[in-house]
């Protein structure tokens, strides 16, 4: 008798646990549906693949364009100048470059871990991915800070000259150079004229200071991506917190925060950014990001606030309130996950518009002069009236902005239940 009872209990437990699993997997299901919808949209998929490609280009930029050989073999001695210079702050002066150079090593690890998780351990992708991404970014930022603080500096060596000398001395040198043999800061690469039109050596020509445009374009992806990522994550976080507080608590909190939102929305954003930027004496890409991040949050806050107002009157939230759940649990466990969809869409569109804002600022000459920004090349093109300095960066900005807009729109459609068949 007792045995049967135990068995029944076991089955009962199993039933419960299987139910739990089902419930658990239902949480993920929403994003699976969104992904399934998203996959049907060919343009959006094209956008997504392009973003991935651009990320890869940005990270592996040194292998595409740098004036240092990947390896040099001379008298059986191997040397790797490219790898040696990756964290050299005398060569890569910009923090953005150091950050992306770090990714050269971190990204393969990350991808390997994801591969193992998905194909070996068979975990559902959307359940672990956000956590993974957060850990990954945390790690890279810590690593970046360590490298940045380390301040590793090596005197500059002109490798093309060194190799030439060695060859002149009759030594046999085996060299593998990157695809394009210029770095983005190297001036006067074309002995003829500045700016030089596209030719067999500089495939996209050179700019007014004689720097190779192709190299600047490749490294420009880093600037654009960083701007998009940091500025947007800054203003999305500020917007979510303030909007959630205002929308959920209402009353005085709402009055104060909506007043703040209203005040911030009254400033013409672009002009405000322009003013703030002109006030900062040092032209740095980080100021641009921070200024964009601090000026564009009201849109997000307003969106989240409206979403919270809408969701607050829903039965399930009222039920949660009636059940006496803590406010934090209701806000972050019940309301925010449902309000997050539109925010993610805004974030993706925000990346596009932040890139646009940064390139307009560089175009107007208020960007970071040392950073290889696409807008800056375009402004040279406008001043010099040279087509190769106009078309390349212009089309690149257009491409970058449209792929993010495509993905944003694809997401928007995929999340819209009305368009689901």
Partner 1 sequence: MQQYIIKRILMMIPTLFAITVIVFGILQMAPGKPGGGLETDSESANKQEGMAGHLIFKRQFHLDKPVFFNFRFWLNDDDIIQLLDEKYDKTKKYTRAQKNVATETIEDYGNDILPNFHRILERSDDKELKIRILSSFSANAARTLIHRFGEKLSEEERFINRETERENRRVAKFSYSPTMSSAEFDKLNFQVIDYLRSIEDRWNYSLLQKMYKCFFDTRFSYYFYNLLHFDFGISMVDKQPVLPKIMEKVGYSILLSVGSIILAYLLAVPIGIYSAVNPKTLLDKAITVGLFMLYSLPTFFVGTVLLFYFSEGSEYYKWFPTGGFKSIDSDNMTSLQQLKDISIHMILPLVCLTYVSLASISRYARTGLLDVIHSDYIKTARAKGLGEWVVVFKHAVRNGLIPILTLLGSVLPAVVSGSVVIEVIFNIPGIGLESFNAVITRDYNMVMGIQLISAVLTLLGLLVSDILYSIVDPRIQYE
Cβ-based nearer residue to partner 1, 268 or 333: 268
* Nearest-approach distance from CB 347 to partner 1, in angstroms: 17
Cβ-based nearer residue to partner 1, 206 or 360: 360
* Nearest-approach distance from CB 265 to partner 1, in angstroms: 7
SS (H, E, C) the chain: CHHHHHHHHHHHHHHHHHHHHHHHHHHHHHHHHHHHHHHHCHHHHHHHHHHHHHHHHHHCHHHHECCCCCEEEECCEEECHHHHCCCCCCCCCCHHHHHHHHHHHHHHHHHHHHHHHHHHCCCCHHHHHHHHHHHHHHHHHHHHHHHHHHCCCCCCCCHHHHHHHHHHCCCCEEEECCCECCCCCCCCCCCCCCCCCCCCCCCCCECCCCCEHHHHHHHHHHHHHHHHHHHHHHHHHHHHHHHHHHHHHCHHHHHHHHHHHHHHHHCCHHHHHHHHHHHCCCCCHHHHHHHHHHHCHHHHHHHHHHHHHHHHCCHHHHHHHHCCCCHHHHHHHHHHHHHHHHHHHHHHHHHHHHHHHHHHHHHCCCCCCCCCCHHHHHHHHHHHCCHHHHHHHHHHHHHHHHHHHHHHHHHHHHHCHHHCC
Cβ-based nearer residue to partner 1, 142 or 255: 255
* Nearest-approach distance from CB 356 to partner 1, in angstroms: 6
What number of other Cβ atoms are within 10 A of residue 114's Cβ? 17
Cβ-based nearer residue to partner 1, 226 or 380: 380
* Nearest-approach distance from CB 242 to partner 1, in angstroms: 16
Cβ-based nearer residue to partner 1, 288 or 378: 378
* Nearest-approach distance from CB 281 to partner 1, in angstroms: 5
* Nearest-approach distance from CB 294 to partner 1, in angstroms: 11
Binding site for partner 1 (CB under 8 A): 43, 259, 262-263, 265-268, 270-272, 274-276, 278-279, 281, 352, 356, 359-360, 363-364, 375, 378, 381-382, 385, 387, 390-391, 393-395, 397-398, 401-402, 405-406, 409, 418
Sign of CA dihedral 229, 233, 234, 236: positive
Question: Over the range 227-255, which residues count as b (16 or more CB within 10 Å of their CB) and which as e?
Answer: bbebbbbbbbebbbebbbbbbbeeeeebe
CB 89 within 8 A of CB 80: no
* Nearest-approach distance from CB 390 to partner 1, in angstroms: 5
* Nearest-approach distance from CB 409 to partner 1, in angstroms: 7
Cβ-based nearer residue to partner 1, 59 or 407: 407
Cβ within 8 Å of residue 191, ≥6 positions away: none
Cβ-based nearer residue to partner 1, 62 or 375: 375
* Nearest-approach distance from CB 274 to partner 1, in angstroms: 5
* Nearest-approach distance from CB 169 to partner 1, in angstroms: 49
- What is the rounded distance in angstroms from the CA atom of residue 142 to the CA atom of residue 266? 37
Cβ-based nearer residue to partner 1, 133 or 263: 263
248: its two tokens: 């959920």
Cβ-based nearer residue to partner 1, 119 or 271: 271
Cβ-based nearer residue to partner 1, 223 or 406: 406
* Nearest-approach distance from CB 137 to partner 1, in angstroms: 27
Cβ-based nearer residue to partner 1, 166 or 386: 386
């Amino acid at each position: 008798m007792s045995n049967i009872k135990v068995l029944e209990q076991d089955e009962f437990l199993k039933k419960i646990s299987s139910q739990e699993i089902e419930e658990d997997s239902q949480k993920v299901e929403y994003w699976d549906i969104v992904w399934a919808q998203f996959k049907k949209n060919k343009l959006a998929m094209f956008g997504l693949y392009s973003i991935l490609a651009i990320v890869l280009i940005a990270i592996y930029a040194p292998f595409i364009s740098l004036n240092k050989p990947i390896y040099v073999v001379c008298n059986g001695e191997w040397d790797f100048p490219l790898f040696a210079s990756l964290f050299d702050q005398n060569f890569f002066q910009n923090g953005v470059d150091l950050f992306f150079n770090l990714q050269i090593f971190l990204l393969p690890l990350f991808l390997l871990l994801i591969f193992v998780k998905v194909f070996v351990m068979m975990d559902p992708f959307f359940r672990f991915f956000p956590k993974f991404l957060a850990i990954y970014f945390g790690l890279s930022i810590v690593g970046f800070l360590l490298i940045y603080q380390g301040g590793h500096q090596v005197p500059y060596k002109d490798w093309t000259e060194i190799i030439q000398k060695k060859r002149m001395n009759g030594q046999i040198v085996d060299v593998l150079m990157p695809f394009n043999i210029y770095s983005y800061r190297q001036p006067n690469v074309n002995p003829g004229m500045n700016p030089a039109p596209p030719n067999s050596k500089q495939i996209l020509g050179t700019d007014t200071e004689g720097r190779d445009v192709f190299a600047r374009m490749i490294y420009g992806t880093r600037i654009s991506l960083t701007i998009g990522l940091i500025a947007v994550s800054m203003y999305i976080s500020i917007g979510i917190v303030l909007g959630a507080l205002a929308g959920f608590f209402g009353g005085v909190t709402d009055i104060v925060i909506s007043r703040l939102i209203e005040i911030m929305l009254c400033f013409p954003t672009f002009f405000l950014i322009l003013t703030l930027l002109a006030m900062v004496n040092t032209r740095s890409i980080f100021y641009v990001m921070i200024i964009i991040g601090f000026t564009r949050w009201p849109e997000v806050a307003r969106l989240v606030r409206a979403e919270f107002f809408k969701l607050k009157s829903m039965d399930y939230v009222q039920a949660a309130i009636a059940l006496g759940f803590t406010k934090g649990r209701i806000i972050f466990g019940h309301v925010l996950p449902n309000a997050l969809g539109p925010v993610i869409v805004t974030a993706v569109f925000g990346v596009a518009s932040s890139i646009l804002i940064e390139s307009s600022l560089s175009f107007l000459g208020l960007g970071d002069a040392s950073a290889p920004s696409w807008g800056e090349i375009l402004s040279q093109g406008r001043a010099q009236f040279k087509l190769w300095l106009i078309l390349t960066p212009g089309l690149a900005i257009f491409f970058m902005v449209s792929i993010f807009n495509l993905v944003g729109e694809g997401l928007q459609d995929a999340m819209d239940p009305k368009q689901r068949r």
